[in-house]
Structure 1
Amino acid sequence: MTSAFHFESLVWDWPIAIYLFLIGISAGLVTLSILLRRYHPEDGSSKSQIMLTTLFIAPTSIALGLFILIFHLTRPWTFWKLMFHYSFTSVMSMGVMLFQIYMLVLVLWLALIFRDELASLQQRWLPKLSVIPTLLARLLPLLRSIEILMLVLAVLLGAYTGFLLSALKSYPMLNNPLLPALFLFSGISSGIAVVMLVVTLRPKGDIHSREMHFLHRLETPVVWLEIFLLAAFFIGLALGDDGKLRALSAALASGFWAWWFWLGVVGLGLVLPLLLKAVGWGKTRLHILLISGCSLCGVLLLRYFILYAGQMTVA
């Protein structure tokens, strides 16, 4: 049976799209948090709404994404072998190494930022483990260096999801050098949307804080950059060989995925948020929920579109 979600050339299906979406959220949140701490250090403390969102969602989203990936494999119980046997010629193996380093540095970085809260929890529940606050105090002078490393890892992780798909050379649409940059900035866009949704949904969340103004200043430029990268992505297909032209036609000319792209990705995810902000929306909780929800849905729909439409055409 052939349909939009089931066709002969399909290798990676919807769980991979969710995985790509969750990894992008984690990388986007970490990138935003470090930018906030770098340019507005007074707002990047452990009390920050952005930092608190990153603390709970960044590790959770990447762990959930890896869980989905592991159990989507044909033999999930052998996944542990990838964690100890690396191949520098395999994109998947390099990704596993990146995930491991990313998670290790992420836990250390968050522990240093939330060291006071962690010390309070340790004293209450594990009073004999006094070595934890001592160790964090010794590592504190390295926080700036760890933060730089964390930013590099977040950017690499956000781009990696694009490299993972672009390594599929038999699919002309996916084998595109702009895919990593597109996934990186759409991940940052999803991070902005997640923070805004969390802050808006919290009863005590301050939607007029300096942190929210920081996000609002980033939101529109990031969306325009996404639009530019999408345009460049498809222009590259239009200027390519016969396989890329066929892929472009199959994805955008007609059919289910063309409607998905124009109505979902472009209309709901990009144009509607820009129009709502242009007419003055974004100042109330309801407005922010609507704009951020549309942006987040657009990023998820983009992941689905790239994954499925990209596998419809084989070179």
Structure 2
Amino acid sequence: MNEIWGNESVNAIVWHWPIALYLFLAGLSSGAMMTALSVEWMNPKRKAPWDAFVKAGVLIAPITIIVGLIVLIFDLTKPLNFYQLLIHYNLKSVMSLGVLLLLFYTPLCAIYAILRFRLTLSKSFLWPVMNLFGGVLDFLEKNSLWFGRLVFALAGGVGVYTGFLLSAIQTYPLYNSPILPILFLASGLSSGIAACICFGILLFSEEVSKEKTKYLLTMDLRVIPIESLLLFALFVGLYFQGGDKALVALSALSEGSWAMIFWVCVVGFSVVIPSVIALTALKNHAYKVNFILLNSISIMLGVFALRMYILYAGQLYLGA
């Protein structure tokens, strides 16, 4: 993706769509895991059979983070040298801290998924392999509350880290904001809730609870205004800093193709459409499957559009 629509392309694009895809998938993984754990903790017994949204979330989390990391590795100039990031750490580097965080989060969320699908896996060809680690899995199952809290904290860290990865870059005004990590955490949570609802209904329809569906729809409706407020604060903060940053804020919202993408895709898909659906078809959180799925897909598209917009607009709009 070496060319960008419109006349903004005079500025060099260093990071392309695979980075936006990685940021989206990492945020989605973080949000899905936090959502799954929140729903699980609503069950006082915390025992199987697990709710559809718990199953969906713990399945989505490891898959999306692993796919995201694969995309990131192959986007590197020398992907075969990626292993060096795992053995050389600079604790003053955001990238290095992120790698360390992912080194713990990725396997632990995969193990959590194994725990929640243990009964299903016991009937598969993987059972002999799992038997080798039966004692460890039993221990983690007995301490699943504390294990879940650890994974939840790591998931939140991954959600924030996706924003810090860009905000630490001082040469791009749109990136260099303390609001960006919080915005990425909120939008990642929103996409995670939407993904849990969508795939919970599609893959585990027999375990879907209308009560939990309404709970997650309500949660997402509360996250959307927060996300909108953070977007507003991001641009207002840039504008009132004056100079080039004010020009960046105005240009990013009003000039070129990426401004249109912001209003149509980011605001439209992640704010307007979900709000309209919630106030009409899902008024009082009515259980209407087609509209619930449309709502979830719209939110996920909007969050991906946000990642694309921030990545590209941040590199294109640099002020005077």
- TM-score, structure 1 as length reference: 0.91
The one-character-per-residue Cα deviations of 1:29-80 (angstroms, maximum 9, x if unpaired) are 1101111122334577453211221232211111110011011111111111
Amino acid at match of 1:312: L
Aligned twin of 1:255? 256
Matched-pair contact (CA < 8 Å) for 2:30–2:156: yes
Aligned pair 1:300/2:304, yes or no? yes
Amino acid at match of 1:86: Y
Among 22, 26, 32, the residue aligned to 2:25: 22
Among 103, 110, 117, the residue aligned to 1:107: 110
Aligned twin of 2:229? 228
Aligned pair 1:287/2:286, yes or no? no
Q: How does 1:56-75 map to 2 (within 5 A)?
A: 56-75=59-78
Matched-pair contact (CA < 8 Å) for 1:33–1:51: yes
Aligned pair 1:199/2:200, yes or no? yes
Residues 131 and 201 of structure 1, relative CA distance in 2, 3 Å threshold: closer
Residues 216 and 183 of structure 1, relative CA distance in 2, 3 Å threshold: same
| Distance in 1 between residues matched to 2:18 and 2:130, nearest whole Å | 40
Residues 202 and 250 of structure 1, relative CA distance in 2, 3 Å threshold: same
Residues 234 and 46 of structure 1, relative CA distance in 2, 3 Å threshold: farther
Matched-pair contact (CA < 8 Å) for 1:273–1:294: yes
Amino acid at match of 1:65: G
Q: Which moved more, 1:72-81 or 1:44-53?
A: 44-53
- Give the secondary structure class of the aligned counterpart of 1:98: helix
Matched-pair contact (CA < 8 Å) for 1:162–1:181: yes
Amino acid at match of 1:147: G
Aligned pair 1:85/2:88, yes or no? yes
| Distance in 2 between residues matched to 1:198 and 1:130, nearest whole Å | 29
| Per-residue deviation, 1:119 | 4.4
Matched-pair contact (CA < 8 Å) for 2:53–2:196: yes
Matched-pair contact (CA < 8 Å) for 2:58–2:112: no
Residues 235 and 143 of structure 1, relative CA distance in 2, 3 Å threshold: same
Aligned pair 1:52/2:55, yes or no? yes
Aligned pair 1:150/2:154, yes or no? no
Q: Mark the runs of 5 or more structure 2 residues left unpaired by the alignment.
A: none
Aligned twin of 1:217? 218
| Per-residue deviation, 1:267 | 1.8
The one-character-per-residue Cα deviations of 1:111-160 (angstroms, maximum 9, x if unpaired) are 33444444454xx6554864422222233333222111111100010011
| Distance in 1 between residues matched to 2:80 and 2:311, nearest whole Å | 25
Aligned twin of 1:270? 271
Instruction: Let me know the Cα RMSD of the aligned residues.
Output: 2.3
Q: Mark the runs of 5 or more structure 1 residues left unpaired by the alignment.
A: none
Matched-pair contact (CA < 8 Å) for 1:155–1:184: yes
Amino acid at match of 2:173: P
Aligned twin of 1:94? 97
The one-character-per-residue Cα deviations of 1:152-205 (angstroms, maximum 9, x if unpaired) are 100010011100010110001110000011111111111111122213334835
Matched-pair contact (CA < 8 Å) for 2:52–2:204: no
Matched-pair contact (CA < 8 Å) for 2:187–2:303: yes
| Distance in 1 between residues matched to 2:134 and 2:242, nearest whole Å | 59
| Distance in 2 between residues matched to 1:288 and 1:37, nearest whole Å | 21
Q: Which moved more, 1:44-53 or 1:162-171?
A: 44-53
Matched-pair contact (CA < 8 Å) for 1:247–1:312: no
Matched-pair contact (CA < 8 Å) for 2:28–2:61: yes
The one-character-per-residue Cα deviations of 1:247-286 (angstroms, maximum 9, x if unpaired) are 1122002211111111111122211110121123363222
Aligned twin of 1:310? 314
Aligned twin of 1:35? 38
The sequence identity of aligned pairs, in percent, is 35
| Distance in 1 between residues matched to 2:136 and 2:90, nearest whole Å | 33
Residues 190 and 2 of structure 1, relative CA distance in 2, 3 Å threshold: closer
- Alignment: residue pair count: 313
- TM-score, structure 2 as length reference: 0.90
| Distance in 2 between residues matched to 1:105 and 1:150, nearest whole Å | 7
